[in-house]
Amino acid sequence: MDTDVVIAGAGPNGLLLAAELRLAGVRPIVLERLTERSTEQRANGLVGQVVRALDRRGLAEPLGSEPGGPVPRPEYIFAAMRLALQLIDNNPVYILPSPQAKIEAVLEERALELGAELRRGHELADFTQDDDGVTVEVAGPDGTYSLRARFLVGADGGHSRTRKLAGIDFPGVTHDATVSRGGHASIPAEYIDPATGVLRIPGYGDVPPFMHHRSDRGLFAYAPFPGRQPLVHTSEWDEPDTDEMTFSELQESVDRVLGVHLPLIQESPFVRRNVGGNTRIAERFRAGRVLLVGDAAHVHSAMGGPGLNLGLQDVLNLGWKLAAEVQGWAPEGLLDTYESERRPVGERVVMQTQAQSALVAPGPEVTALRAMFAELLTEPATVQHIADLISGADIRYFDGRHPLIGRAVPDLTVDGVRLAEILRSGRPVLLDLLDGSPYASHTNDHVDLVTGSSDRQVAMLIRPDGYIAWAADDANADGLEDALDKWFQGRVLTKATT
Ligand X SMILES: Cc1cc2nc3c(=O)[nH]c(=O)nc-3n(C[C@H](O)[C@H](O)[C@H](O)COP(=O)(O)OP(=O)(O)OC[C@H]3O[C@@H](n4cnc5c(N)ncnc54)[C@H](O)[C@@H]3O)c2cc1C
Mapping DSSP to helix (H, G, I), strand (E, B) and coil, where does residue 404 land? coil
Instruction: Please tell me whether residue 33 binds ligand X under the rule CB under 6 A.
Output: yes
Instruction: Please tell me whether residue 341 binds ligand X under the rule CB under 6 A.
Output: no
Instruction: Please tell me whether residue 198 binds ligand X under the rule CB under 6 A.
Output: no
Helices marked H in 361-474 — which ranges?
A: 364-376, 380-391, 419-422
Instruction: Judge contact between 117 and 28, C-beta under 8 A.
Output: yes
Nearer to ligand X, 61 or 137 (CB): 137
The least distance separating ligand X from the CB of residue 387, rounded to whole angstroms, comes to 16
The one-character DSSP state at 314 is H
Instruction: Please tell me whether residue 12 binds ligand X under the rule CB under 6 A.
Output: yes
Instruction: Judge contact between 137 and 274, C-beta under 8 A.
Output: no
Binders of ligand X among residues 223 to 282 (CB under 6 A) are: none
How many residues contact ligand X, by CB under 6 A? Answer: 33
Binders of ligand X among residues 145 to 174 (CB under 6 A) are: 155-157, 161
CA pair distance 113, 87, nearest whole angstrom: 42
Q: Which residues contact 466 (CB under 8 A, 6 or more apart)?
A: 52, 53, 56, 316, 408, 409, 423
Instruction: Please tell me whether residue 308 binds ligand X under the rule CB under 6 A.
Output: yes
Residues in the chain: 498
Instruction: Please tell me whether residue 32 binds ligand X under the rule CB under 6 A.
Output: yes
Instruction: Please tell me whether residue 428 binds ligand X under the rule CB under 6 A.
Output: no
Could you tell me how far CA 389 lies from the centroid of its own chain?
A: 13
Report the relative pairing of strands 298-299 and 429-432 from DSSP bridges.
unpaired
Instruction: Please tell me whether residue 464 binds ligand X under the rule CB under 6 A.
Output: no
Q: Out of 69, 70, 92, 305, name the contact with ligand X by CB under 6 A.
A: 305
The least distance separating ligand X from the CB of residue 190, rounded to whole angstroms, comes to 29
Nearer to ligand X, 154 or 406 (CB): 154
Window 310-339: contact mask with ligand X (x via CB under 6 A): -x----------------------------
Q: Out of 5, 26, 43, 386, name the contact with ligand X by CB under 6 A.
A: 43
CA pair distance 321, 489, nearest whole angstrom: 12
Strand ranges inside 294-421, DSSP E: 298-299, 413-414, 417-418
Q: Which stretch binds ligand X (CB under 6 A): 223-231, 306-314, 390-398, 435-443?
A: 306-314
Q: Which residue is nearest to ligand X (CB)?
A: 11
Instruction: Judge contact between 58 and 423, C-beta under 8 A.
Output: no
The least distance separating ligand X from the CB of residue 302, rounded to whole angstroms, comes to 4
The least distance separating ligand X from the CB of residue 67, rounded to whole angstroms, comes to 23
Instruction: Please tell me whether residue 108 binds ligand X under the rule CB under 6 A.
Output: no
CA pair distance 21, 464, nearest whole angstrom: 11
Angle at 231 between CA 229 and CA 236, to 5 degrees: 165
The least distance separating ligand X from the CB of residue 137, rounded to whole angstroms, comes to 10
CA pair distance 370, 358, nearest whole angstrom: 10
Instruction: Please tell me whether residue 307 binds ligand X under the rule CB under 6 A.
Output: yes
Instruction: Please tell me whether residue 11 binds ligand X under the rule CB under 6 A.
Output: yes
Instruction: Please tell me whether residue 9 binds ligand X under the rule CB under 6 A.
Output: yes
The least distance separating ligand X from the CB of residue 345, rounded to whole angstroms, comes to 14
Instruction: Please tell me whether residue 493 binds ligand X under the rule CB under 6 A.
Output: no
Nearer to ligand X, 236 or 295 (CB): 295
Q: Out of 14, 70, 92, 392, name the contact with ligand X by CB under 6 A.
A: 14
Nearer to ligand X, 43 or 345 (CB): 43
Q: Which residues contact 108 (CB under 8 A, 6 or more apart)?
A: 10, 15, 37, 118
CA pair distance 57, 191, nearest whole angstrom: 42
What is the torsional sign of CA 472, 476, 479, 482? positive
The least distance separating ligand X from the CB of residue 451, rounded to whole angstroms, comes to 37
CA pair distance 487, 368, nearest whole angstrom: 49
CA pair distance 209, 199, nearest whole angstrom: 7
Instruction: Please tell me whether residue 10 binds ligand X under the rule CB under 6 A.
Output: yes
Judged by the rule CB under 6 A, the positions of this chain that interact with ligand X are 8-14, 31-34, 38, 42-46, 100, 123-124, 155-157, 161, 294-296, 302, 305, 307-309, 311
